[in-house]
Amino acid sequence: MSEWLISLEGTDAGKTLALFLAIQAAFLHALFGALQKGKTDPWTSRTVIDAGYCILAAPFAFFVVAWPEPDIWWMFAVAWVIHVGYKVAQASAYTFGSYTVVYPVVRGTGPVFTVVGAGFLFGEHFTGTQWFGVALLVSGILGLALYNLRHITIDRASLPLALGLAMITGGFVALYTTWDAFVIRATADPFTFIAWCFFIDGLTFPAVYLLRNKGKLPQPIGPLSRLGLFGAVVAFFSFGGIMLATRLDKVGEAAVLRETSVVFAALIGWVMLGEKVGPRRLGLIVLIALGAVIVEWGG
């Protein structure tokens, strides 16, 4: 499968597959965010999900895919640092703000930084139409942030902190998207990067949890185990999908298209978490998604 995937790089078929993978990642990432912000506190849910995908990735990393080349281990170390920073910022943002407040700002801020980073690192350039799409996306983000500051009444005292943490998280999204795209292109087999990244990345939060709780597992173990397993599968197809998309096509376009997840997030927040969106906030969320679509179409 690796050889077939690599053969699609730079082809029209590869671009089409990257488009599909980015849209798939958009829906699944919105679902992943809802799982982390669900009934369990975001730190515990992140811990059990990380444990789930670490356990699932281990046999693939050690026995199925090729091991990383010796000269790129340091790249995995940098990726680990960025991912830990992202998860800490994300969990902190969810602690102080609701899902439909935090998620659109995180996912809308990330691609703007990613586009700039991809320009420096990969020499990618956007057309005028694509920059118009980015402008729409940024307008939606700023409008949503201002609307939330003026109208949200629940947890209002912590709202500015939640929005600030959401923007920091968006910066980490750009860092991990751009850096991981660099590493997956440097690895001979893309599935080597995916398997080892999940294994290494999944170790930290469970280890910290066990140390802080003197080896006690989170409770209730049954429901949390199911959450961890389901979240791990969602993470594999979401994160793995977008990483494969960045290898097959432009990093900036894949990252921006993934941010149509804000539309899925609004629906999921309403259905799963009972959070009201309202017509004005929904309109701003759609504006963010429209900007992302224009970026893809304009390319």
Give residue 152's pLDDT band: very low, low, confident or very high (50, 70, 90).
low
pTM above 0.75, yes or no: yes
Residue 129: the pLDDT is 87
What residues does each domain of the chain span?
Answer: 2-298
Using alpha carbons, select from 20, 13, 26, 4 the residue that is nearest to residue 111.
Answer: 26
Percent over 70 (pLDDT), the chain: 96
Give the pLDDT score at 180: 93
Interacting residues of 162 by C-beta distance below 8 A, sequence separation 6+ = 93, 96, 97, 101, 102, 155
What integer pLDDT is reported at residue 107 of this predicted model? 72
250-278 per-position pLDDT tens digit: 887 787 778 777 778 777 777 776 777 77
How many residues make up the chain in this entry? 299
CA atoms within 13 A on the CB side of 148: 32
pLDDT at 290: 85
Distance CA 166, CA 162 (A): 6
Q: Locate 241 and state its tokens.
A: 């999908």
The SS3 of residue 59 is helix
Model confidence at 112: pLDDT above 80: no
In the chain, count H helices and then E strands. Answer: 13, 0
Question: Tens digit of pLDDT for each residue in 286-297?
Answer: 887 788 778 777
**In degrees rounded to 5, what are phi and psi of residue 97?**
-145, 160
Q: Check residue 156 and give its pLDDT.
A: 67
- State the average pLDDT for the chain: 86
How many CB atoms neighbour CB 128 within 10 A? 8
